[in-house]
């Protein structure tokens, strides 16, 4: 049984904190969520919504029911209980169907009608900014950029320092382009320990619903699955993003609409919009390894090739070492051939732009990757380790 207590708001120095006790089979821990004091009035202590979504996937995987001291919003309770849980249980026989015990709140909460989206300065968030600003749809123009620490930076102290250093870029961006910025921190992932890849939609809803009196619309960057890739079964290689077309509308209530921003678009289709968005020339940041773009990690390589494919390299001299890329182009194209051989769909799409530059020798060098592409079960085995070693 997961017991969700009553959320409380406290002010500590510069921060407003929403805290709540969560008890899992008798082990009680406090989950805290911290924002700047100026957002304190929007912290939602009247509902259990944020906590129910945050623990839902965990409850299904670990056989727990859920009990709440504070009511759940009617729309959310109805959507989750009547649709989402049944759909997931139908396709995953090892998932438990949690019984949710809570009062229902049907009245509307006050709302500041802000329109939010996360900002990491990567392709997804800059796509949201390129496409959801200056719209004729006044209630859908982004007003608030958010940077949340709910799991994507890892857990523990290392995650805290990574989060602190990664905040700087979004802060600068918001200041330069006149957006409000909401930076939040939480220990959610330390309390509900789960695989971020498998549960990120759920944990990412937590900061949004903690501030549900602030937002009426929220653009959550889509996970890059096309409509034809919609799946509910939990296979090892698939994230919970494969059913966001279902889960996000069901997490939405009549007060807060969550969109899967860029839904159904491929990475190159998103990048085509990003390269038209001038702030990206100064702020695009995709690196997996370092604060600035290293130019060599998988995401830097993929993005550089994408920008090159669109003929926009010169616009990105501030954020990438374009001269290095040009000098070492054949190494980059080789990486593309290798990744394509592994059947990664982003690279299959990219390869069509580089047809004239892919040589027979590159195909030959990518042969070990082709073998892994044909026999994916080898990827975690000895052969994969040998190939990795060989690549060095």
Rounded Cα distance between 92 and 54, Å, is 19
Q: Applying CB under 5 A, does 301 fall inside the site for Zn ion? A: no
Beta carbon nearer to Zn ion, 289 or 386 = 289
Among 106-114, 235-243, 289-297, 321-329, the segment contacting Zn ion (CB under 5 A):
289-297
Extract the tokens encoding 273: 């919009």
Residues 6+ apart with CB under 8 A from 334: 362, 365, 366
Q: How many alpha carbons fall within 13 Å on the CB side of residue 71? A: 12
Environment class of 76 (CB within 10 Å of its CB; exposed 0-12, middle 13-18, buried 19+): buried
The 3 state secondary structure assigned to 90-115 is: HHCCCCCCCCEECCEECCCCCCCCEE
Q: Is 300 in the site for Zn ion (CB under 5 A)?
A: yes
User: Cβ 296 to Zn ion, closest distance in Å?
Assistant: 6
> Which one of 87, 155, 160, 297 is in contact with Zn ion (CB under 5 A)?
297
Least Cβ distance, residue 317 to Zn ion (angstroms): 16
Query: Which C-beta is closer to Zn ion: that of 203 or that of 303?
Result: 303
Residue that has been written with the tokens 């990438």 in this structure: 320
Packed helices 49-62 and 196-210: angle between N→C axes, nearest 10 degrees: 160
Close Cβ partners of 227 (under 8 Å, ≥ 6 residues apart): 245, 263, 264
Q: Min. distance of Cβ 288 from Zn ion in angstroms?
A: 6
CA distance 329 to 361: 15
Q: Of residues 76, 208, 248, 287, which one binds Zn ion by CB under 5 A?
A: 287
What number of chain residues touch Zn ion (CB under 5 A)?
A: 5
CB of 324 to Zn ion, least distance (A): 12
Asked if 294 interacts with Zn ion (CB under 5 A), we say yes
Query: Closest separation between CB of residue 344 and Zn ion, Å?
Result: 17
CB of 304 to Zn ion, least distance (A): 9
DSSP readout, 347-388?
HHHHHGGGGGG--HHHHHHTHHHHHHHH-GGGTTSHHHHHHH
Stretch that binds Zn ion, among 127-135, 146-154, 219-227, 281-289 (CB under 5 A): 281-289
Shortest CB 287 distance to Zn ion, Å: 3
Strand-strand pairing, 100-101 and 144-149: unpaired
User: Interface with Zn ion includes 166 (CB under 5 A)?
Assistant: no
Choose the binding region for Zn ion from 6-14, 39-47, 184-192, 295-303 (rule: CB under 5 A): 295-303
The nearer residue to Zn ion, 145 or 300, going by C-beta atoms, is 300
As measured in angstroms, the least distance from the Cβ of 321 to Zn ion is 11
Beta strands in 139-262 (DSSP E): 144-149, 180-186, 215-221, 257-261
Q: What is the CA radius of gyration of the chain?
A: 22
Nearer Cβ to Zn ion (7/122): 122
* Closest to Zn ion by CB, 294 or 313: 294
- Closest to Zn ion by CB, 286 vs 351, is 286
Binding site for Zn ion (CB under 5 A): 287, 289, 294, 297, 300
């Amino acid at each position: 049984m997961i017991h969700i207590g009553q959320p409380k708001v406290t002010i500590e120095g510069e921060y407003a904190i929403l805290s709540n006790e969560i008890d899992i089979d008798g082990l009680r821990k406090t989950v805290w969520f911290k924002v700047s004091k100026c957002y304190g009035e929007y912290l939602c202590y009247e509902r259990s919504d944020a906590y129910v979504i945050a623990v839902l996937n965990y409850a299904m995987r670990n056989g727990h029911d859920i009990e709440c001291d504070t009511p759940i919003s009617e729309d959310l309770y109805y959507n989750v209980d009547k649709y989402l849980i049944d759909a997931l249980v139908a396709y995953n026989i090892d998932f438990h169907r949690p019984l949710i015990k809570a009062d229902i709140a049907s009245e509307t909460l006050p709302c500041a009608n802000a329109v939010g989206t996360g900002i990491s300065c990567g392709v997804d968030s800059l796509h949201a900014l390129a496409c959801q600003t200056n719209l004729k749809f006044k209630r859908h123009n982004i007003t608030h950029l958010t940077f949340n620490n709910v799991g994507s930076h890892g857990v523990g102290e290392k995650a805290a320092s990574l989060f602190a250093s990664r905040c700087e870029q979004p802060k600068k961006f918001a200041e330069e382009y006149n957006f409000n910025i909401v930076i939040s921190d939480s220990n959610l992932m330390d309390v509900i320990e789960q695989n971020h890849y498998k549960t990120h939609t759920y944990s990412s809803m937590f900061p949004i619903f903690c501030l549900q009196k602030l937002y009426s619309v929220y653009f959550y960057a889509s996970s890059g699955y096309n409509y034809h890739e919609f799946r509910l079964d939990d296979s090892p290689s698939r994230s919970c993003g494969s059913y966001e077309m279902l889960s996000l509308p069901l997490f939405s209530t009549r007060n807060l609409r969550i969109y899967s921003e860029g839904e159904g678009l491929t990475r190159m289709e998103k990048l085509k919009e990003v390269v038209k968005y001038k702030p990206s020339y100064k702020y695009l940041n995709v690196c997996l390894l370092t604060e600035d773009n290293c130019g060599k990690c998988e995401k830097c390589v993929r993005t550089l090739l994408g920008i090159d494919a669109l003929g926009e390299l010169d616009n990105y001299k501030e954020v990438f070492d374009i001269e290095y890329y040009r000098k070492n182009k054949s190494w980059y194209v080789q990486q593309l051939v290798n990744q394509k051989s592994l059947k990664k769909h982003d690279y299959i799409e990219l390869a069509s732009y580089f047809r004239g530059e892919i040589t027979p020798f590159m195909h030959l060098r990518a042969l070990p990757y082709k073998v892994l592409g044909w026999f994916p079960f080898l990827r975690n085995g000895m052969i994969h380790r040998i190939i990795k070693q060989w690549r060095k």
